[in-house]
Structure 1
């Protein structure tokens, strides 16, 4: 059973993910159709970062995952015992 602090952290993570999804969706899908001189553009980075940030984050996650799997493989490798 989850404790109240676990539920609070879970709700916070869901709210953060929802806000991030909404921000990114507005940035990538809606903002290109808004005039360049509109006030809404002041709250967002350049469009190049809409691609660069997820690519860099994905590369870091993939690198960390591969390193973790490699580390697990190295630890679980057992040398073969020769019998003569």
Structure 2
């Protein structure tokens, strides 16, 4: 099982580094390239560089809020029965 955990950890690390590198290049380096450069076809428009993380953050915050609410309701029911 330990080898499987290492493989999953390595895969998650590699995925995170790839996303970080892509996003960093997209936000920091790409604005300095000419707009007709071929590299622009591999990236979404610049406004998505802000919209995607904002929507992901709102979604994760909503998911976390639902989880905390569910745990609080479950905890409240447990106190009533004891």
* TM-score w.r.t. length of structure 2: 0.92
Q: How does 1:20-35 map to 2 (within 5 A)?
A: 20-35=19-34
Unaligned runs of 5+ in 1: 80-84
Which 4+ stretches in 1 moved above 4 angstroms? none
User: 1:37, 1:4 → 2: CA distance?
Assistant: 46
RMSD over aligned CA atoms reads 1.3
Q: How does 1:36-51 map to 2 (within 5 A)?
A: 36-51=35-50
Structure 2: state its 5+ residue gaps: none
Q: Larger Rg: 1 or 2?
A: 1
Normalising by the residue count of structure 1, what TM-score does the alignment of the two structures yield?
0.90
Higher helix share: 2
State the aligned residue count. 79
